[in-house]
Structure 1
């Protein structure tokens, strides 16, 4: 490691390099709980070692990335693979306003706007562009459910942050069926997997605060079909790092 301090700064600042590769910039802070502020990832750490770890890949990274590549290639070769994305009325415990599903070839099997029977928050609308008035005459989740069941059941369902998408579908199914056992049976008829963790491993940036690989944004517009396309591209990228 090599640390270089720029001359044109009013506070203790160092740029860190490893074998000539720029890692990031660290600021020494005395006005907060975290002494070392990592500019690139906006984290604060009490020790310089932890600040460096936030930008440095761990020793096991190459092996971890190879395992991710093997997993991604297996997913892309699985004819049961289905990429899923759900857009919602809000950022918390919300209802579905758009659901898209895509196969491993990039063919869209489902891309449907939904009437959630609940207002869509302004925050959510600013992200995905879907307003309450736009979905007034769209089908409800209950009306879409037969088609959704035919597409999802028995498939390997992959989402980016699957906990969120799975949670939305769980709430919608509970609202419709009102029987947790029926909902559980429906969900267990699919194989659910998360692509966010493998993407974090492949990138390799370490979160010293969370003691795991740092999650990465998927990117792309907040449209369910566009997110499925972005997820497919991400999976293809992961598969290429064997």
Structure 2
């Protein structure tokens, strides 16, 4: 039933401020509990301001029960359902309110039983006794007798062991008494000793301990010296490796920019740069797929820039010509070689598809497993093309020479390549400058 609007002439009371002559007025909810309802033409006598769950604060009408009409009596099924909601499932008593779970007296009884069981349960071994334990705040209480006896024995043993440890030498396998109880008590009673009593070493154990400490220190220093020597030798090897590359005019550097970092990313920019400074290859490549915006934000190559550019198949003959018989350096070889393998596989797969189309056109027969055979042959041809080129990685040797050790990876951290505008040719030049910087260390150490 909706709440009627409050007329301006009717008063609004707080629950505690209702006058004595209107204490008999009831809200609609209270009338419903009396099996009454407002008559069709009955108007509110006043309003009361109360808070109701689901409604909040509001002005609710008050009606005169004498003028209200009776509600239709409940059916047998409705009365049974109402009684069932007010019946406690534990004790079976019918309450004057809806029972959720169990009634209040049953909840109190259950809590008392739980507390009584807890008082009779040993917190250490969880054994339940017939009589409750003493409830105390220290660990000597709330235990069963066996656990209490065991605890007292343990405390006594710890006290005796501590007393023996304070009196005897702490050396290995040494039980020589080095202090008396009176000396220990005098030191512990002196407030100037902030550390307290420290067990005394006997001369043989003290000498042996000093000798072992010195031996461990020498072993640590020797291992550290060997590690530093190994590091110096390795850096010298890397410097010689970089110097040999700088002095070899046949060495080239390759780099590529792609549509992303996925396994199926396509190459959009490819460059091959000679160690002597000659540009052997520098071209944009039409990938055949849209370039994502996040990749364009890195290298600045857009779809408009690659429109009309040669495909990878058009660039492949020139690429094979400039790499033939040369040492090819790549910064992060695994990524660029992986992109080349994907492009080569697609190239040879296109050739296989063309050959298969000509074969089907000539014979009119579609061989079984043609696709699987074409993919396997394309992958084999791509692997053979890559195996004919001498690829070498620069990132891992440079990171080892740089020496930024990472405890998380258990190795030297990879160093980023600063190529400026992140184009393929710029990255190639950055690799050459990086190698020359490594090689200059030879002259610096000589000086």
TM-score, normalised via structure 1 length: 0.73
Of 76, 79, 85, 2:246 maps to: 76
The yes-or-no answer on 1:151 pairing with 2:322 is: yes
CA shift, 1:182, in A, is 1.5
Cα shift readout 1:19-50 (whole Å, capped 9, x = no counterpart): xxxxxxxxxxxxxxxxxxxxxxxxxxxxxxxx
In structure 1, distance between residues paired with 2:413 and 2:346: 34
The yes-or-no answer on 1:164 pairing with 2:364 is: no
CA shift, 1:241, in A, is 2.3
CA contact (8 A) 1:61 1:201 kept: no
CA contact (8 A) 2:252 2:272 kept: yes
1:230 corresponds to: 430
Name whichever structure is richer in strand by fraction: 1
1:200 corresponds to: 399
In structure 2, distance between residues paired with 1:186 and 1:138: 23
Cα shift readout 1:103-139 (whole Å, capped 9, x = no counterpart): 1111111000000001111111001110112111100
Name whichever structure is richer in helix by fraction: 2
SS class of match (1:186): helix
CA contact (8 A) 1:97 1:113 kept: yes
CA RMSD, 1 decimal: 1.3
CA contact (8 A) 1:65 1:241 kept: no
Structure 1's unaligned 5+ residue stretches are: 1-57
Cα shift readout 1:53-79 (whole Å, capped 9, x = no counterpart): xxxxx6333222111101111112233
CA shift, 1:180, in A, is 1.9
In structure 2, distance between residues paired with 1:104 and 1:175: 30
2:303 corresponds to: 132
1:87 corresponds to: 257
In structure 1, distance between residues paired with 2:237 and 2:410: 19
Of 407, 415, 428, 1:216 maps to: 415
In structure 2, distance between residues paired with 1:155 and 1:118: 32
**Matched residues, number:** 185
**Which portions of structure 1, spanning 4 or more consecutive aligned residues, are displaced by more than 6 angstroms?**
none
In structure 2, distance between residues paired with 1:64 and 1:85: 27
The yes-or-no answer on 1:187 pairing with 2:358 is: no
2:224 corresponds to: none
CA shift, 1:156, in A, is 0.7
CA shift, 1:153, in A, is 2.2
In structure 1, distance between residues paired with 2:293 and 2:343: 21
1:14 corresponds to: none
CA contact (8 A) 2:332 2:395 kept: yes
Structure 2's unaligned 5+ residue stretches are: 1-226, 350-377, 443-447
2:231 corresponds to: 61
SS class of match (1:85): strand
